[in-house]
Structure 1
Amino acid sequence: MSEASQPRADRPRAEGAPRVLLGHGGRIIAAAAQRILGAHGFEVGVASNARAVEEALAAGGWNALVIDVALPGGFELAAPARRAGVECVILVASVFRRTSYKRRPRRLYGADDYVEIHHLGDHLPNRLRAHLGLGPPDHPAETLREVLVSLRDRGDARLLEQSPRGLAALIVADLLLYNGDRVTDASSVDEAWAAVSEDLEDARKLFELLRPEATGAGELIADAFRELVASLDGARDSREQGGMT
């Protein structure tokens, strides 16, 4: 087992049916994740926005949190998950770069692990079991082939289902995961922008390719970038105040 997949020593092994909270705004993908994880012995709850995730974490009883990378405020949820003693996994869209899944994101912003959406059916249950200190799973009681087929290319199809602002946020969120060091090491938003300016230009071109009818691509990408960088600064300040690294 790799270091990244070892359960943290300060968290007890899950007993009974481990409970997983899924923070995801997409109905189809959330339903597929529920079915897949349910077949692997997990009890799954879904929260469609960051506030609902925080309220569920505060209520307690969860063993793990899985966050959609593009959930508004999603990057900030790793901190309350840690405070609640809950494992945190980011679900990555891998839409900005076709080869993103071939390398690990530079920074996970306090999360314990990540899984690409096209590995939702196989990697996610296994990673969760490893982080929770569980043994090998029993063979799922139901056939998941149809679920896995329905997830094929969902990462791409999902782009076309987004509003223009949602699409910009999804593209930029994916970009930040793979450029985390350059962004979080910057002392200002302008410095962060300069550090990834070429990637942001690629993000604008990708947006225009996917939504040629939409106007103001550059402004939408810029707004999404500034909002996400601000949320990362807020999450970093929260961790520092709480003595977290």
Structure 2
Amino acid sequence: MSQPRILFAHERRGVARAVQRVLEREGFSFEHAADGVTCARRLDEVRWAGLVVDVALPFATGIAGYELVQRARDQWPDAGAQVVILVASVYRHTSYKRRPTRLYGADDYVEIHHLCDQLPRKLYEQLNVPAMPAVEQAEAEAREQLRVEGDTRMDDQHADQRRLASLIVADMVLYNGDAIHDAGDLAEAESAVAPDLDIARQLFAQVVRAEGTAVPGDPIGEAFASLMGAMGRGGPT
């Protein structure tokens, strides 16, 4: 049996290396795409067994992580991906963390700190292929690397407030699928997720160490509006 081909779309190479170590030892073929444009091109060119995509994949290039779900579906079976799994990419637990009610067309999701122990199982189940025995040492090493990557990603981004805000917002949107889906425009989307937008603003302030001080503008609101625009829910607020 040929190795199932997995396209992993995530901006952090440290995360990609950790996931590659586990997936290859569990019988998968692995390729990394660091941005939406590269991922979209590879989806157009190749028939993949699975696409694993970070919900916070930088969308400054014009292609958000969520948009790649439909891209993968549209090409199948000639190219694209049979199975799509979203990655919730902020390790720190916040109160909006709950099981998503909608996956934007994906088959499943996994939080970043569970990529090593849950992702192989989810891929086996979705692809209906027999699982290989787990490689415990590889999983342990990769799990620790992912813990560090996931918990420091926001700290690494704090100097770039726009990117930091985009990261937090993209993760928050995953956990508000029904509310986002039912919203007709940006104003409705903002109203539907107002409590979680407030939580996102608090988390943003914490990461940039700005509690008690004024942060110029509203980076979280701007990032939310930008992502909603990319997802077809733009409009006046």
Query: Do both share a fold (TM > 0.5)?
Result: yes
Deviations 1:157-203 (A, max 9, x none): 11111232121111111111111211221121012112222221221
Partner residue of 2:203 out of 180, 203, 206: 206
Query: 2:118 matched to 1:123?
Result: yes
Query: 2:89 matched to 1:93?
Result: yes
Q: Give the structure 1 partner of residue 70 of structure 2.
A: 79
Query: 2:9 matched to 1:23?
Result: yes
Distance in 1 between the 2:13 and 2:130 partners?
Answer: 30
Aligned Cα RMSD in Å?
2.2
Matches within 5 A, 1:216-231: 216=215, 218-231=217-230
The 3 A distance-change label for structure 1 pair 100 and 57 is same
Distance in 2 between the 1:218 and 1:205 partners?
Answer: 14
Deviations 1:58-103 (A, max 9, x none): 11131100001100210000111112332110011245753666x4
CA contact (8 A) 1:96 1:171 kept: no
Matches within 5 A, 1:132-151: 132-140=127-135, 143-151=138-146
Distance in 2 between the 1:189 and 1:96 partners?
Answer: 27
Q: How many aligned residue pairs are there?
A: 219
Pick which of 197-206 and 72-81 moved more.
197-206
Classify the secondary structure of the residue corresponding to 2:116: coil
Q: Give the structure 1 partner of residue 189 of structure 2.
A: 192
Q: Give the structure 1 partner of residue 22 of structure 2.
A: 36
Letter in 2 for 1:151: L
Distance in 1 between the 2:104 and 2:203 partners?
Answer: 25
The 3 A distance-change label for structure 1 pair 217 and 67 is farther
Unaligned runs of 5+ in 2: none
Classify the secondary structure of the residue corresponding to 1:233: coil
Classify the secondary structure of the residue corresponding to 2:47: coil
Deviations 1:114-160 (A, max 9, x none): 01111111100110111111012134396432222222243221111
Query: 2:63 matched to 1:67?
Result: no
Partner residue of 1:58 out of 39, 44, 66: 44
Q: TM-score, normalised by structure 2?
A: 0.84
CA contact (8 A) 1:95 1:171 kept: no
Distance in 2 between the 1:78 and 1:227 partners?
Answer: 18
Query: 2:163 matched to 1:158?
Result: no
Runs of 4 or more above 3 Å deviation = 94-101, 138-144, 213-218
Q: Give the structure 1 partner of residue 231 of structure 2.
A: 232
Letter in 1 for 2:121: N
Distance in 1 between the 2:107 and 2:216 partners?
Answer: 33
